[in-house]
Amino acid sequence: MSVHGGRTHSAVLVPLFCDPSERLHAVFTKRRDDLKRHPGEISFPGGRRDEGDADLTVTALREAEEEIGLPRDAVQVIGALQPTPTFVTNYSIYPFVGVIEPGFAWVPQATEVAEVLELRLRDVRAGHGFRRLVRKGVPFRTDTYEVGETLIWGATGRIVRDLLDRVGDLLDAEGRAA
């Protein structure tokens, strides 16, 4: 994976699992509304690389364990998606895809995570749109994914688009993994 141009390197884990009826899900977090950066936004568990992290894969696994209580040894990392920049905070996000077992009892980090969301990828894909948003007074058009009251956009939306481009053919009309 090449190094991306953002000032701060970070990594996220894109946890995937199949439910008992073989429908593919991804695990997201809803950030707390009172956070200074990206309040209330939907994201994947992750964060900045620490000095002690051997590489960005370790960062993604460590952050998932800290944010949602997902033990590192419960994740089988199967690949990486394209690095994704954040435009406001100047981060380079390196997404790693990991397979986990269904039915995990999430333990959200109370200071950062408001909620852990398990969304069917079929529903995420069906909720795709392109809309105009305004953030900090600046209007822009972006890919969005809406599932019920959940709106995914920004860097997470770009990561989701890359994920769906890669796994979309694995989903049949019922959203089951082939």
Digit-coded pLDDT (tens) for 93-131: 999 999 999 999 999 999 999 999 999 999 999 999 998
44/124 Cα distance (integer angstroms): 14
pLDDT of 55 over the 80 cut: yes
Q: What is the rounded distance in angstroms from the CA atom of residue 49 to the CA atom of residue 70?
A: 18
Cα 135 from Cα 89, distance rounded (Å): 13
pTM comes to 0.89
- H or E segment at 137? none
CA quadruple 151, 154, 158, 160: dihedral, nearest 10:
-30
Is a pLDDT exceeding 50 seen at residue 64? yes
The pLDDT tens digits of the residues spanning 148-169 come to 999 999 899 999 999 999 987 7
Q: How far is CA 16 from the centre of its chain?
A: 10
Domains and CATH numbers, the chain: 8-121 (3.90.79.10)
| Average pLDDT estimate for 8-37 | 90
In this model, does residue 2 exceed pLDDT 50?
A: no
- Provide the residue type at 128 as one letter: H
What are the tokens at 177? Answer: 């993994």
